[in-house]
Structure formats: structure tokens, C-alpha cells
Structure 1
Amino acid sequence: MGDPPRAGLSVAEQRRRLSLSGVRGHVAKGRHFTNQALQDWGWDGTETSEDVLLLVSELLTNASLHAGGCIELVLTAGEVLRIEVFDGTTTPPRPNPSPQRGIPGGHGLYIVGRISDRWGTRIHEHGKAVWAEVEASRLVSGRPTGR
């Protein structure tokens, strides 16, 4: 019979927030939170949804390692899925100009740039948000992961 067609969003835009200030295991919590949102929005079980989880992991890890920690993870769904990670510094992230293959570290923003459709930073009064976007069409039509 096959799988039923994947549904899009029933609401034009939805937003979810997860406070991460002082939370231990924030990367795992952020991935779980994101996975639940993707399931609720009918955007789970595809290669692109796995890419979204990797984006969340990379952004949260970068905030933890280079910006003094994560304050909040915000997911906004509409025509794009926007992932925002808020931290308490205004220093913009700088991609490593020459990450070395096979050596850990320095690849996070390169990965973010490769798998997102767009990414950037936004300064606000208490720090910054590093964001990445994935077109919703990729989440709806992505190849199944085979789970």
C-alpha cells in the first residue's frame, strides 16, 4: 500500500521555544525537542529531518564551546524551518578558514553552511542568535531514512 502522503503545516506559522540556560545535556535536549516538533509538523523520517537534527547539534555545540553557553533554542515553521540558538555574547561566529580533514573541531559552521539553505547571525540586546534555515519543501519531499 505504501505510506500515506506527508502532510504540510495546517497553520501558516508555528513557533516553539526551549529554554536552555543552565541546562545540562542541552544538545541532547535540543535534539529531542526538535525531533518532537518535526514529528508534530509531519516533517520527520526523512534525510532532511536528520540534517535538521545535525544543524541543531552543531549550533548548540558552537554556542556552548564558543559563546559561553546556550540560552534558548527557537524553532519557527512556515515556508521555511528556521532554527535559532541564542547565546549571551555579541561576538559573531567565525568559520574556520581551513578546517583539517580527519581532525576534530573547526567543521561546525562549514557543516551548517553545507546542509542549511541559509544561515547567519542576529545581534539583540542580550547577545546574539545564530540561525539556520531549511526550506519546508525539502522536509516534505525528502527521501525517507528507512526507519
Structure 2
Amino acid sequence: MSAGLPAAGQRRRLALTGVRGPVAKGRDFTRQALQDWGWDGTETFEDALLLVSELLTNACLHAGGCDELVLTAGGAALRIEVCDGTTTLPARHPAPQRGIPGGRGLYIVERLSDRWGSHTYGTGKAVWAEIEVSRLVSGKAVER
């Protein structure tokens, strides 16, 4: 497999129901998948890890926890999905206030991703974000 070109539609899933430390586990899982796919060493690699952190944190704080993290390497984009057990769709905080924590998670998701959204299914929902593959393979190298 060539670096930066995982098989179209390659998917990895991480069950998180009842797992302690789901945000850290999700970041580690994502880091490994992106390294396996040759998508590490770019600024966008770090953006993808931050997106995972924000989506998982939001599920923990606002949806009673996360059920699953799904990473899909498509031909054009990396899709990050976090599934939880509520059907309440996320909404951006209308006006986060300076100096007061919270209310910025979806703004971060919006800024770092190329697209994001959510959909319900059965008794739960998925909140997703996508990053164009071109950003993952041609980003400026991160100094280590």
C-alpha cells in the first residue's frame, strides 16, 4: 500500500461503551490508524487528533458517553464518526464567552474539518467530521 493512499473505504472501529479514558484511547487508536495509512507527519495529522478529542469529549459531556469511534479512509476524505446513545443533535453554543471554559468544541470541529454534521439512527446519533485526503498527504511536516 502506498503512503497516503489507503484502500478506498478502509474502515476501523473502536468500541468505547463503558471504557475508561475514552478520549485518550480514541486518540491513540486514531494515531495508529493514520500512521498505518501513511498520514502522519503533517499539521493536518495533529488536526485529526484534535478533532477526535473534541468529538469524543462532546459525547462524554453532552451525550452520557461514547459508544464507538469509526474512522473511514475514503478516496477523497478521512471521515471521523463518534456514535453515542442519545438522539439529541449537537448545536453550537450561541456565544461562548471569553475566559469561561466550554462552548467552543463545535467551533473547533468546524474550523479544523472540511465538513461536519450529525445524523440519528435508532436510539442514538453519530457526529462526524471529514478532512480532505489532500490535506493529509501534502501538509507541512510537523517538527518532532
Q: Residue 32 of structure 1 aligns with which residue?
A: 28
- Residue 52 (1) aligns with residue 13 (2): no
Q: Which amino acid aligns with 1:135?
A: E
Q: CA deviation at 1:12?
A: 1.9
Q: Counterparts of 2:19 and 2:53 in 1: how far apart (Å)?
A: 15
Structure 1 gap ranges (5+) = 1-5
Q: Does structure 1 conserve the Cα–Cα contact (< 8 Å) formed by 2:81 and 2:129?
A: yes
CA drift at 1:48: 0.3
* 5+ long unaligned stretches in structure 2: none
Give 2:106's aligned residue: 109
Question: How far apart are 1:135 and its partner, in Å?
Answer: 0.2
- Which of residues 65, 72, 75 is equivalent to 2:71? 75
Q: Which amino acid letter does the alignment assign opposite residue 9 of structure 2?
A: E
Distance 2:100 2:135 in 1: 31
TM-score in terms of structure 1 length: 0.93
Moved over 4 A (4+): none
1:131 paired with 2:111, answer no
Q: CA RMSD in A?
A: 1.1
Post-superposition offset of 1:11: 1.4
**Deviations 1:91-132 (Å, cap 9, x if unpaired)?**
001100101123211000000001100000011113000000
SS at match of 1:17: strand
Q: Could you tell me the TM-score, scaled by structure 2's length?
A: 0.95
The one-letter code matched in structure 1 to 2:59 is: A
Work out the CA distance in 2 between the residues paired with 1:100 and 1:116.
23
Q: Percent identity?
A: 75
Distance 1:12 1:86 in 2: 22
Q: CA deviation at 1:70?
A: 0.2
In structure 1, C-alpha distance between the alignment counterparts of 2:69 and 2:62, rounded to whole Å: 16
Counterpart of 2:119 in structure 1 is 122
